[in-house]
């Protein structure tokens, strides 16, 4: 008899339906850009329901020291 090498299947979990805008967000940084007006990094904030995105310019030096405040 052979041992099973793969994990056992588990029950699928149904994803929740998103109902309100700007509740579930995706956040990412685009880094290593050319320096323009003192900014070399872009903070991308995207709403998962509407897929609307906001882009904020930042300095790479400031990103590692403190978090950005989104208003």
Sheet (strand 53-58) strand order: 25-30, 41-47, 53-58
What range does the domain containing 2 cover? Answer: 1-71
Place of tokens 């309100």: 20
pLDDT tens, N- to C-terminus, the chain (71 residues)? 778 788 888 888 888 888 899 999 999 999 988 888 889 999 999 999 999 999 999 887 654 455 555 54
What's this model's pTM, rounded to 2 decimal places? 0.61
Instruction: Work out how many domains the chain is built from and give that number.
Output: 1
Place of tokens 């579930």: 24
């Amino acid at each position: 008899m052979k041992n099973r090498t793969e994990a056992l299947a588990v029950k699928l979990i149904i994803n929740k339906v998103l109902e309100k805008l700007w509740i579930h967000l995706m956040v990412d940084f685009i880094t290593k850009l050319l320096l323009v007006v003192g900014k070399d990094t872009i903070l991308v904030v995207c709403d998962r329901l509407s897929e609307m995105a906001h882009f904020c310019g930042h300095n790479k030096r400031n990103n590692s020291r403190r978090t950005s405040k989104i208003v």
